[in-house]
């Protein structure tokens, strides 16, 4: 290794540390979101309560016992442990990947690969990052599983090279499979594709040696603990996964999600362009992969909205799957590109397994995004190595991507730091609840630098109460600089007013309750009684006791987990009027 190579490797290592530091800073600035409050209380009552909650979760929710156990331990330390663990998981993922997809490359090339992987990850859209990388439970459910899948793949490669299997490796492989539906599928495909490739290779060369099938079966056994868990079947049945025709509906929903404007089509476009360029320069790859140019153009034209046609998402999804599968199989026939082929198949598997799911979310894209990032980074590093004298423009492009990634991360840090200041003030108020008898919660959170705050969903709100040892129905006043406080007969209501489309909206339950009325929700109907007026809300229509029906289209919204009505609807139905006093107060009263 020459002096230039050592210097470049050293500079790359410094940049890797800088990138990991940025990820650590953001991770430390996050807060508990959504399910975090639920899993954070598992250890509150000691081991007995922990086992009780864990068993109940395994029976009725899902089989992700391992990742949630790790999640619960991490949550015990707030965001402190997460600030260290999250960047460590990212580094471990790309390190294990580098050891497999670039096994033949020199150390400097592996450093470039890790740096490229982190740079691409820094450019991850915030709409995905906020509910995966920068959400503790999200990171444990979507980043950790692919980290363990990459670890299993590394162990499988090392076992084949060593020619013997250690019992400890079998145990680790079992744990790597027992993560999530997507992570386990990725681990199984990585291991199976490697074992099949090795078996074919040994048969052709008439050599003996292990292919690592015992490792695959250990991963599969771990995966079975997730798929065959009672909670998995219970949830699938509850969500209607077994209903007739659900599979076809789920396929189209998944295709729309992945190939739409917020999907992962850009990753496939970049990957297929790299494939096409490499196929023209690399004699080990079939020239047919140059068709990646055509597939990329087709994806780009649709993704930017220039062309549309019936079932476009489904057609493009099938084309992507087919072309990527062909490329992966071509890779498996080459010692140099075999690891990349395995990761590409795993990326496809991590999405195909979702076809049985009744709905898809942005966060479920992360496992495939991370696996595709490995493919993109490895091909990019291979491509830079093919240019002896003219490679500087490509290297410069890589550095530009890194600089853009750093810029995006600094913006992200600024957003999360701003939110953190608001959250700290909220926490102080909550901690003083016993002394004051109430707490004030500022809702001036900047999105997208947060995910599903506790007051946005009644389910999470209950666990927020439990986490902070609040009463079952605490007095929490929600504040916002843009939302005036509401007063009824001199009494301050807990929820502020909201302005939307030029109209003021008021919280239904607090206003009706303050005026002496009450609400009754029976699951399908909302009955409201105030004075002599009775009303029943069914879907988008309000039925009054005098027989009148009022359409609720565009007259309601949901905020802080509460239903809001526009002020005119309150006036029409119950005779409640509101008047604004200054910038920060609204008074409501009966006419």
Q: What is the pLDDT of residues 522-576, one digit of tens each?
A: 877 899 999 888 999 988 899 998 888 999 988 999 888 789 999 999 998 999 9
- What would the mean pLDDT of 170-178 be, rounded to a whole number? 96
- Asked whether the predicted pLDDT for residue 262 surpasses 90, the reply is no
| pLDDT tens track for 386-444 | 765 545 666 677 788 899 999 999 999 999 999 999 999 999 999 999 999 999 999 99
Question: According to the model, what pLDDT value does residue 441 have?
Answer: 94
Query: Given this model, what pLDDT does residue 545 score?
Result: 86
Domains defined for the chain, CATH in brackets: 9-413 (no CATH), 485-590 (3.30.457.10)
Sheet harboring 556-559: ordered strands across? Answer: 498-500, 503-507, 562-566, 556-559
130-139, 442-451, 562-571 — most confident range: 130-139
368, containing H or E segment: helix 366-385
3-state SS record for 259-297:
HCCCCCHHHHHHHHHHHHHHHHHCCCCCHHHHHHHHHHH
* Per-position b or e across 408-422, b if 16+ CB within 10 A of its CB: bbeebbebbeebbeb
Confidence of residue 145 (pLDDT cuts 50, 70, 90): very high
pLDDT above 90 (res 267): yes
pTM for the model: 0.91
- Statement: residue 243 has pLDDT above 80: no
Report the pLDDT averaged over residues 302-307. Answer: 74
Q: What is the full DSSP assignment across 35-78? A: THHHHHTTTTTHHHHHHHHHHHHHHHT-S-HHHHHHHHHHHTTT
Residue 2 has pLDDT above 60, yes or no: no
The conformation of residue 445, written as its DSSP 8-state character, comes to P
User: Is pLDDT above 90 for 93?
Assistant: yes
> What pLDDT sits at residue 587?
92
- pLDDT band, residue 249 (cuts 50/70/90): confident
What is the edge-to-edge ordering of all strands in the sheet holding 541-544?
Answer: 518-521, 526-530, 533-538, 541-544, 549-551
Tokens coding 350: 């991590």
Q: Is the pLDDT of residue 1 over 60?
A: no
Mean per-residue pLDDT for 222-247?
81
517 DSSP 8-state letter: -
Rounded Cα distance between 139 and 127, Å, is 14
pLDDT of residue 328: 92
* pLDDT for residue 390: 47
Q: Is residue 73 scored above 80 in pLDDT? A: yes
What 3 state SS string does 315-330 have? HHHHHHHHHHHHHHHH
Q: Is the pLDDT assigned to residue 200 strictly greater than 50? A: yes
Is residue 164 exposed (0-12), middle (13-18) or buried (19+ Cβ within 10 Å)? exposed
Average confidence score pLDDT of the chain: 89
Q: Please say if the pLDDT value at position 366 is more than 90.
A: yes
Q: What is the mean pLDDT of residues 493-498?
A: 93
> Taking the alpha carbons of 526, 531, 533, 534 in that order, is the dihedral positive or negative?
positive
- Percent of the chain beyond pLDDT 70? 94
């Amino acid at each position: 290794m020459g002096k230039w190579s050592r210097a470049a490797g050293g500079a790359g290592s410094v940049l890797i540390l800088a990138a990991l530091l940025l990820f650590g800073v953001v991770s430390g600035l996050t807060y508990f979101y959504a399910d975090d409050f639920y899993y954070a209380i598992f250890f509150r009552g000691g081991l007995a309560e922990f086992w009780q909650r864990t068993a109940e979760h395994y029976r009725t929710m899902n089989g992700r016992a391992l990742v949630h156990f790790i999640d619960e331990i991490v949550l015990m330390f707030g965001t402190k442990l997460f600030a260290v663990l999250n960047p460590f998981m990212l580094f471990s993922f790309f390190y294990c990947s580098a050891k497999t997809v670039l096994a033949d490359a020199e150390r400097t090339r592996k450093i470039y690969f890790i740096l490229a992987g982190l740079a691409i990850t820094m450019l991850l859209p915030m709409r995905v990052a906020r509910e995966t990388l920068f959400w503790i439970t999200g990171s444990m459910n979507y980043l950790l599983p692919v980290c363990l899948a990459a670890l299993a793949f590394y162990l499988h490669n090392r076992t084949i090279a060593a020619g013997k299997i250690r019992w400890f490796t079998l145990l680790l492989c079992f744990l790597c499979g027992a993560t999530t539906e997507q992570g386990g599928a990725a681990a199984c495909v990585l291991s199976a594709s490697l074992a099949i490739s090795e078996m074919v290779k040994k048969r052709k060369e008439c050599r003996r040696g292990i292919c690592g099938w015992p490792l695959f079966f250990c991963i599969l056994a771990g995966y079975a603990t997730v798929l065959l868990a009672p909670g998995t079947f219970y949830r699938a049945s509850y969500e209607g996964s077994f209903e007739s025709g659900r599979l076809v509906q789920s396929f189209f929903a998944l295709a729309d999600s992945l190939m739409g404007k917020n999907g992962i089509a850009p990753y496939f476009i970049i990957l297929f362009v790299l494939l096409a360029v490499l196929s023209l320069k690399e004699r080990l790859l079939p020239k047919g992969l140059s068709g990646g140019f055509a597939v990329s153009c087709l994806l780009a034209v649709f993704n930017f909205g220039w062309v549309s046609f019936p079932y476009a998402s489904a057609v493009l999804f099938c084309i992507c799957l087919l072309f990527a599968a062909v490329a992966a199989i071509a890779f498996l026939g080459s010692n140099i590109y075999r690891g990349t082929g395995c990761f590409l198949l795993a990326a496809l598997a991590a999405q195909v397994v979702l076809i049985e799911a009744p709905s898809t979310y942005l966060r479920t894209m992360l496992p495939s995004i991370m696996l595709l990032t490995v493919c993109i980074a490895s091909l990019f590093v291979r491509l830079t190595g093919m240019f002896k004298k003219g490679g500087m423009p490509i290297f410069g492009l890589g550095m530009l991507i890194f600089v853009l990634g750093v810029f995006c991360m600094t913006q992200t840090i600024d957003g999360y730091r701003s939110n953190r200041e608001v959250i700290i003030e909220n926490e102080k108020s909550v901690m003083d609840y016993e002394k004051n008898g109430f707490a004030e919660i500022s809702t001036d959170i900047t999105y997208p630098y947060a995910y599903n705050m506790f007051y946005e969903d009644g389910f999470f709100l209950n666990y927020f109460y439990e986490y902070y040892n609040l009463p079952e129905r605490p007095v929490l006043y929600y504040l916002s600089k843009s939302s005036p406080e509401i007063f009824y007969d001199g009494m301050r209501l807990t929820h502020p007013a909201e302005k939307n489309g030029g109209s003021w909206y008021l919280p239904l339950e607090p206003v009706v309750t303050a005026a002496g009325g009450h609400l009754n929700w029976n699951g399908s109907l909302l009955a409201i009684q105030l004075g002599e007026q009775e009303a029943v809300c069914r879907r988008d229509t309000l039925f009054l006791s005098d027989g009148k029906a009022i359409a609720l289209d565009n007259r309601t919204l949901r905020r802080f987990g509460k239903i809001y009505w526009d002020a005119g609807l309150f006036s029409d139905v119950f005779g409640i009027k509101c008047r604004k006093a200054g910038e920060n107060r609204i008074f409501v009263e009966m006419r």
